Amino acid sequence: MNNTPLISIIVPIYNVGPYLEQCLNSIISQTYKHIEILCVNNNSTDNSLEIAQKFAQDDTRIKILNCAEQGLSSTRNTGIDASSGEYIAFIDSDDWISPLYTELLLLNIQEQKSDISCCDYYLFNQKKMRLSDSSHENNDNIWLQKSKYKNNEILASLHDISSFAFNKLYKASIIKQNKLYFPAGLAHEDILFNFSYYVNMQTMSFIAERLYYYRVGRENSLMSLYQHNSPDVVQIAYKIIEKAKEYNVFDQFKVSIYQQIVYALNLPIRKKYNFNFKFYKQAHVILQQIDDQLIVNSKMLLLKKSFTLFTIRYKIINCVWFLSILKITAKKLRQMLRYLR
């Protein structure tokens, strides 16, 4: 085993001028030095590209790439194709990492002989300028009861693991041999990518240290451009089911898959994204297919029922809105008819 393998760090860049310097400084300051940094510019209109180019002049490990197709997934996929490392990490360009991020994740993956390592992370609220731990956002802490799990254990408990890509170190061979890519043009792309990776891996290992600083509450990021399109969650849900059947694991892990889908479908409600009636209509079709008995986790059943109630309320609101529009339209029509007379 090569004890100092090359790690490819993929950094999608889109209009992150105020944050990019902090991000790149945290990456070039890693205690583990054998890294390549792939900065993938995605049609930035601010000074982001100039900042990345300046860093590249001072550090030969930095390579500048361009991705014409809009979106976080396409940008990451461009980085995957261009990477030459034995391992791959994904860092969002408005976030930053601990100096020990790559060293500890690599040490963990080597000591545990696993196919992917995962760390904890901090949340940084951009609007409130406040740092907090991630315990209320994910359930990774329950997995720290053990340091290593087989893929069937992971697939049986999908909802208990954060679906983010940024707090993980992946084996490039698994990604490339199985042609794993992020779904272009869709929000919540990490969910599908990680599911496909989990199916194709053997083991996953965890470390308790918080090594990543995740910035939330920033507008106009690559993530926010797609994240607010809530119907994407429905497409991701269908694609997970499709992939599970393709890999012949759907029947075995149906409960876990449905649990994750129910949770994902509730994200637009929980995060207060801009949602529309099309989303509720499509999501309701999926939820109706899920037998309550399959959702063995009481929290998941509660989520499904709360979603159903929210859908009913949303339909009532839409009916009231539609009737008010009819009333206004009828009033205007009567006024026009009186004028014509």
CB-count exposure of residue 82 (10 Å: 0-12, 13-18, 19+): middle
Residue 217's pLDDT is what?
73
Identify whether 106 is part of a domain.
Answer: yes
One domain for residues 150 and 15: yes
Which range is most confident: 9-13, 149-153, 292-296?
9-13
| Domain total in the chain | 2
Each residue of 110-142: pLDDT tens digit?
999 999 999 999 998 876 666 677 654 444 445
Average pLDDT of the segment spanning 43-51: 95
- pTM score > 0.75 for this model? yes
- Residue 108, pLDDT > 60, answer yes
Read off the tokens for 25: 């400084």
For residue 243, the enclosing domain spans 231-323
Identify whether 313 is part of a domain.
Answer: yes
One domain for residues 89 and 167: yes
Each residue of 206-216: pLDDT tens digit?
998 999 999 98
One domain for residues 243 and 212: no
Identify whether 107 is part of a domain.
Answer: yes
Structural contact between residues 216 and 62, judged by C-beta atoms closer than 8 angstroms: no
CA-based nearest residue to 196, from 231, 226, 227, 165? 165
Domain end position, chosen among 194, 210, 227: 227
> To the nearest whole number, what is the mean pLDDT of the chain?
85
Amino acid at 27: I
One domain for residues 72 and 113: yes
Identify whether 76 is part of a domain.
Answer: yes
Q: Are strands 116-125 and 203-216 parallel, antiparallel or unpaired?
A: parallel
One domain for residues 66 and 208: yes
Q: Residue 133: count other Cβ atoms within 10 Å of its Cβ.
A: 12
Average pLDDT of the segment spanning 58-81: 95
Identify whether 2 is part of a domain.
Answer: no
Average pLDDT of the segment spanning 214-240: 71
Identify whether 341 is part of a domain.
Answer: no
One domain for residues 278 and 307: yes
Identify whether 190 is part of a domain.
Answer: yes
Helix (H) / strand (E) containing 243 = helix 231-246
One domain for residues 217 and 240: no
CA-based nearest residue to 72, from 43, 52, 42? 42
Each residue of 307-331: pLDDT tens digit?
777 677 667 766 776 677 677 666 7
Provide the CATH number for the domain around residue 175. Answer: 3.90.550.10
Residue 219's pLDDT is what?
61
* Sequence-distant (≥ 6) Cβ neighbours of residue 86 within 8 angstroms: 2, 5, 6, 7, 171, 172, 173
